[in-house]
């Protein structure tokens, strides 16, 4: 089957991007892979993440994808260049929304919440150098937050405590704008807003990625397709526990979904 958008993440966080893709491209068939047997990517080596990204991209292409979205900042930093060199289809990545955050700040201080893997990447360092200018950018690694979202703990006491711990140093430095530098974090927006206050601007990149994907599809992909009727079908796969993934992903996707296990050669 051809004519699909393939999306993958270390786990369920990329569903935040998938929501934006569904809103922007409502008739596209979607295939989503949560690599939850290997989550989080933030503490893995770039080589490990690149290997997983290659494996998942091959699966998605075999399953009919003619465009790929890496719905993970850490995997984008580690693997996007390799994927683009090996596959002749649009490969859309994520990057922390430094540019819009710099434009939004009134205090001149922007905070970044991200995984250690994203913050340590050369790609992120280049972003800071490009956009920071006179704005102070303060970064904060957030170990444990990805795992809370993976468990569906979107408003638990432990999640609240982690958010408080990670945002307090940024607010103390005067940050009035926080970049959500991991695709898991948008699912925590209600709780983050509650903790930091409504006057703090939260920025994520899911919507911008969906717009970029639409542009790439229109210029590079859609005119190659023929005889495909519009469909809202979405398929979900995991390398982890399919039953648990079905529960969590139904919660995050806002409708009941059946998540299938990746074939063993891709898991």
pLDDT of residue 131: 85
Exactly one of 182, 202, 213, 262 is catalytic; which is it? Answer: 182
Minimum mean pLDDT among 59-63, 82-86, 131-135, 250-254: which range?
131-135
182 is catalytic: yes
Predicted confidence (pLDDT) per residue in 159-196, tens digit: 999 999 999 999 999 999 999 999 999 999 999 999 99
pLDDT of residue 229: 53
Among 46, 32, 39, smallest CA distance to 147 is for: 39
142 is catalytic: no
Beta strand ranges found along the chain (DSSP E): 4-9, 29-34, 65-70, 91-92, 109-114, 136-141, 177-180, 201-203, 234-238, 259-261
pLDDT of residue 228: 53
Average pLDDT over the chain reads 94
Dist CA 100 CA 244 (whole Å): 36
Sheet holding 109-114, edge to edge: 136-141, 109-114, 177-180, 201-203
Q: Token digits for 231?
A: 């469909």
Predicted confidence (pLDDT) per residue in 227-237, tens digit: 555 555 899 99
First-to-final CA distance of the chain: 21
Dist CA 206 CA 144 (whole Å): 21
Summarize the confidence of residues 14-41 as an average pLDDT: 96
Exactly one of 72, 163, 188, 245 is catalytic; which is it? Answer: 72
Dist CA 165 CA 2 (whole Å): 46
Q: Is the bond preceding residue 40 a cis peptide, omega within 30 degrees?
A: yes
Residue 225 pLDDT level (bands cut at 50, 70, 90): low
pLDDT of residue 1: 41
Residue 27 pLDDT level (bands cut at 50, 70, 90): confident
**Domains of the chain and CATH, by start:** 4-94+206-261 (3.40.50.1860), 98-203 (3.40.50.1860)
* DSSP state, residue 237: E
């Amino acid at each position: 089957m051809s004519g699909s958008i393939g999306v993958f993440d270390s786990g369920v966080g990329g569903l935040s991007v998938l929501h934006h893709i569904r809103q922007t491209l409502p008739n596209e068939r979607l295939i989503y892979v949560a690599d939850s047997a290997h989550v989080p990517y933030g503490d893995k080596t770039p080589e490990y993440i690149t290997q997983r990204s290659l494996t998942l991209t091959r699966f998605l292409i075999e399953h009919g994808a003619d465009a790929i979205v890496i719905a993970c900042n850490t995997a984008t930093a580690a693997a996007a260049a390799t994927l683009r060199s090996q596959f002749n289809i649009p490969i859309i990545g994520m990057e922390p929304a430094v540019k819009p955050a710099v434009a939004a700040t009134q205090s001149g201080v922007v905070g970044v919440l991200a995984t250690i893997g994203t913050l340590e990447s050369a790609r992120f360092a280049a972003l800071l150098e490009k956009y920071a200018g006179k704005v102070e950018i303060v970064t904060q690694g957030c170990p444990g937050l990805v795992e809370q979202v993976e468990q569906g703990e979107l408003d638990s006491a432990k999640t609240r405590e982690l958010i408080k711990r990670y945002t307090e140093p940024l607010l103390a430095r005067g940050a009035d704008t926080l970049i959500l530098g991991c695709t898991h974090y948008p699912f925590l927006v209600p709780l983050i807003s509650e903790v930091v206050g409504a006057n703090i601007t939260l920025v994520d990149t899911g919507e911008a990625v969906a717009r970029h994907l639409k542009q790439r599809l229109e210029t590079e992909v859609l005119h190659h397709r023929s005889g495909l009727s519009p469909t809202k079908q979405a398929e979900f796969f995991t390398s982890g526990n399919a039953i648990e993934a079905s529960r969590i992903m139904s919660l995050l996707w806002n409708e009941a979904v059946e998540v299938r296990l990746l074939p063993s050669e891709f898991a």
